């Protein structure tokens, strides 16, 4: 299960860890209040919707739902 690592990192089911600046994640969450927005790194894409990160699009596994925060 994909997870959000507080405050600005994510881990995909395939083991890839995605690290961003805190301001970037905060801005993406704000932008996603009304529409889906995407943030990518190294072929992985994080999808934000309604102010939260909801899934990671993985080139190996497809859609990985983000189930909880650590």
Percent of the chain with pLDDT over 90: 87
The H or E element that residue 6 is part of is none
Say what the pTM is: 0.91
For residue 36, the tally of other CB atoms under 10 A from its CB is 12
Residue 34 has pLDDT above 70, yes or no: yes
Please, are residues 33 and 50 in contact by the beta-carbon 8 Å criterion?
yes
The H or E element that residue 18 is part of is strand 17-19
Instruction: Determine the pLDDT at residue 18.
Output: 95
Residue 28 has pLDDT above 90, yes or no: yes
Instruction: Determine the pLDDT at residue 42.
Output: 85
User: What integer best gives the mean pLDDT of the chain?
Assistant: 94
Residue 60 has pLDDT above 70, yes or no: yes
The SS3 assignment for 47 reads strand
């Amino acid at each position: 299960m994909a997870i959000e690592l507080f405050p600005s990192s994510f881990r995909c089911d395939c083991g890839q860890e995605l690290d961003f600046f805190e301001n970037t994640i905060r801005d993406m969450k704000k932008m996603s209040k009304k529409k889906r927005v995407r943030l990518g790194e190294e072929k992985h894409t994080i999808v934000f919707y309604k102010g939260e990160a909801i899934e990671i699009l993985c080139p190996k596994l497809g859609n990985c739902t983000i189930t909880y925060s650590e």
